[in-house]
Structure formats: C-alpha cells, structure tokens
Structure 1
Amino acid sequence: MFKKKRMHHGRKLVISTDRKSIVAEQIRTVRANIKFAMKDKECKTLLVTSTSIGEGKSTIASNIAISFAQEGQKVLLVDADLRKPTMHYTFNKPVSPGLTNFLMSNWCLSNILKDSGVVGLDLITCGPMPSNPAELLGSSTMNIFLEETISLYDLIIFDAPPLLSVADAQILSAKCDGTILVTSSGTTEKRNLYKVKEVLEVSNANVLGLILNHFKLEKNHYYYEYYGEKD
C-alpha cells in the first residue's frame, strides 16, 4: 500500500478488549442513555459526529457499535466520512470496496459488507474517496442504501465528518433517527457548540445527547483519560 512501511494502529476498542474498565462501563452507560432517549421511538439509524476534527468521534462510534453488538443486536457500522475515512484502520480492513462503490457504481450491498471481527457487527468502509461527498450522501441512492440496511439490521451507526467543517454530517443528520455529538474536554470552544446547535436545528436533527471526550478526573478519584485517540 505504501512504498515505505507505515504502521496504522487500530484505535482503542476498549469495549471489546477491556470490558471491565471504567471506560467500557461509560460506553455501556452511553448505550443505555441512547435507548432511554429513544424509548418512545425505534432507533434504527444513529449518527455520530463532532464539532471539529480530532475530538474522537470515530473511536466512540466504533465502541458504541460494539457495545450494541455485545448486547445481542445485529449492528452495521458505516464509515460515512468520505473525506477522511478511518474505520478501515480501526478494524484493519481494506478501505475498498465500500459505501462509495454502492453510491457511485451501483454495487450490491452484499459486495461491500465486511466482517468486523466482532460477533454481531458488520462494517462498511468508505470505499474510493469521491469528489462530491455531500451530493452522494444527499442522493436518492443514499436513501436506497438506508432502506436496504434498515431492513437487515437492528441498528446502523454512521461515523460522519465534523459538523463545522463540511455539510456532510448535517445532510445525514436529517436522514437518521438520532444524532450524538462528540466534543473534546478543554479544547472545544463554546461558540462552536452554539454554531453546531444552529446547524442541527436547521436540519431538524434529533439530537440525543453530547459526549464529553478526553476528560480527566482528579488523581484522588478514579483517574483516566476517556480516550486518547484522535479522529
């Protein structure tokens, strides 16, 4: 893949590798809160996004997906960040074929699905990066993709680009049952949160909640960094 050897290390899938950790317990709490927030409406599609890059949305999306799969649900995790995809690194899979093959070249769904290595969790990577990501995500073909996957899975989780960078996440938020926003403790500016709030209101997104990432507790309490990985 590269002329010179470059190692891409998978992100911290702690919900799978260290299920008794504090972080894993927090992910299970997030799972419970998602179910509680959607108790009056079935949640089939969930969007995970952030205000800007480097806030850890991709790591959190992966861990949430694994958590629901561990509960016995049939889950599909989709890398909908068509500009800076990372899920293929996280799960050590090839980036192609993937979502863009379906959207641009009419590939069958079965031909782009990948085994994540986690029981109950399938994966769709980005595929070849396109020149028109926003248009693809807002297309009628994307609606067909949603219809097909909703009929096959209990939950589809989309890892989307940051909201303030491009229009992609806003477009997807209007199509999904729920949206989760990831922010980074100590770095996300309040003014950006207000901007994100306005963006999501315009798209009539159903915001289920906000996850504060990279948060450190005092050493005289339980001490940990929520996640050390960036997008």
Structure 2
Amino acid sequence: MVLKTNKKAKFENKRKLVTKVDPKSPISEQYRTIRTNIQFSSVDQEIHTLMVTSSGPGEGKSTTIANLAVTFAQQGKQVLLIDADMRKPTMQYTFNVSNTVGLTTVLTGQENLNRAVRPSDVDNLYILTSGPIPPNPSELLGSKAMKAFFEKAKEEFDMVLFDTPPVLAVTDAQILSNQCDGTILVVNSEKTEIDKATKSKELLVAAKANLLGVVLNNRRIDSKNQYYYYGTK
C-alpha cells in the first residue's frame, strides 16, 4: 500500500511540473506566456522578487509558482524558489527534497542561506523549503531578519519567487507582498468565488502590493475536457 501511495505521489508531482516533463505542451506554453507578461509588466523596475498567492487553499498557487520557476530557469536565470507557506508547506513534496532546514532555520539564524538552499533536478533552479513549522510565521515574515534575507537572496539569484499562504486565511501574504517587486493572484475558474477574489485583491492593494495580474487556473477550453492555464494582466 505504501509503495502504491509513493508511486501515486510521484505521478502527481510530475503532472504538476508540466513545464519540466512536457515543455512543448500547450500548458507549458501558457506558463511561458505568463513569464513573458511578468517580465514586461514593469517599465521602470525589473522584477527580481515575485510572490504568488491565492484567495483560499487548493486553487493552484503552488503549482503555478513551481512551473513559473521552471520557465525562468529554462531562460538561463539563476532562480530561487522559496516555500514561504510556513503553515502548510508543499515544496518538499513537489521537488522531492528534504525539509529539515529551510526558510525558518535561516531566519532564526540556525543556518545560512547557502547551506539551506537545495539544488533541484532542473538546471538553474534552487529550492528553499519552509523548514520546521514555527509558532509565529507572520512575525518571522515581518522581521528584520526577513529584510536582510531579501537583500542576500537578491544578491545571489536573478529571480526569487515566494509561495505564500492564501490571502484570506492569514496575514502572511499581505506582510510579504509589499516587500516583493510583484505579486500574482491565482484564481480557480471552478472554485474561487468572485467576492473572495475581489476581497483578496483589496487586501493586497491595501498592503501596497504591486499586483501584476491574475492567473486564471483550471479553465476548460475544449470539448476533450483538457485544462489550460491562462494569464491576464
């Protein structure tokens, strides 16, 4: 039974990382389109730090940011993907890396960034998992240590991407959003309620986030019930 479960988990992770396993697919092309839109979204300032969030759980934010990270790495950029969802981290499963050290151990001074980062099996893409779940995620994200971490990460990598908790669940995303160059909100076409998406946007804007746009996830566009990802400014 365990073997079957592990096989299923590996299959699910491969399916989520479509830009890695099937880079020529229409879905991968949509992710590259989103990447291009991000790169052209700011005339005055190049995007170096990007945050992806959603209104609620299960809307596809972690899948979206993982695939975006792969597409940036495929451009030859040195990319750091950070699991800043310290409450329900998932990045260790997606990339099959250890979570014994990560963002929390770096912020609390137990480990330095270079030793906490893990290489992935995608060229140029590095992973920083959440680390052990702390009792005070919001305080860590708003700390002086986090500001210092930002500066260090930007020195070491071309692109730094943060996966955060949903906006309506906790304040973590709002705290982090005004520190990032840009923010993307993921909505699920079959799940996200309009009023919740609107409220999420209002909270991010109130937090002075640079909201670059919305990714509409799980939109059915043909009779074969295939799903594509669609980005809009």
Q: Which residue of 1 aligns with 2:90?
A: 86
Cross-structure match for 1:118: 122
Task: Report the AA paired with residue 81 of structure 1.
Answer: D
Instruction: Report the equivalent of 1:169.
Output: 173
* CA-to-aligned-CA distance 1:115-167 (integer Å, 9 cap, x gap): 11111111100100001000001100001110101011111000011000000
1:140 and 1:106 map into 2 onto residues whose CA distance is 15
The TM-score with structure 2 as length reference comes to 0.91
Equivalent-residue separation in structure 2 for 1:119 and 1:204 (angstroms): 34
Native 8 Å contact 2:38 2:212 kept in 1 = yes
1:29 is matched with which residue: 26, 33, 37? 33
Aligned partners of 1:93, 1:151: CA distance in 2, in Å? Answer: 24
> 2:207 aligned with 1:207, yes or no?
no
Counterpart of 2:227 in structure 1 is: 225
SS where residue 127 of structure 2 aligns?
Answer: strand
User: TM-score, normalised on structure 1?
Assistant: 0.92
**1:134 aligns to what?**
138
SS at match of 2:36: helix
Alignment of 1:48-59 (within 5 A): 48-59=52-63
The aligned counterpart of 1:40 is 44
Does the 8 A contact of 2:101 with 2:111 survive in 1? no
1:98-127 per-position Cα deviation (integer Å, ceiling 9, x unaligned): 000011234111110101111111110010
User: Aligned Cα RMSD in Å?
Assistant: 1.4
Secondary structure of the structure 1 residue equivalent to 2:93: helix
Tell me what 1:197 maps to.
201
How far has the Cα of 1:194 moved from its partner? 1.7
Greater CA drift, 102-111 or 30-39: 102-111
Moved over 6 A (4+): none
Supply the distance in 2 between the matched residues of 1:140 and 1:133 (Cα, whole angstroms). 14
What's the offset of the Cα at 1:226? 2.8
Q: Distance in 2 between matches of 1:50 and 1:156?
A: 18
Deviations 1:191-210 (A, max 9, x none): 11221122012111000010
Cα pair 2:205 2:211 within 8 Å, conserved:
no
2:104 is matched with 100
Query: Please, which runs of 5 or more residues in structure 2 have no aligned partner?
Result: none
- The residue identity in structure 1 corresponding to 2:228 is Y
What's the counterpart of residue 76 of structure 2? 72
How many residue pairs were aligned?
Answer: 222
Question: Which structure features the higher share of helix residues?
Answer: 2
- Counterpart of 1:101, as a letter, is T
Distance across 2 between alignment mates of 1:198 and 1:178? 15
Structure 1 spans left out of the alignment, 5+ residues: none
Cα distance in 2 between the residues matched to 1:82 and 1:190: 27
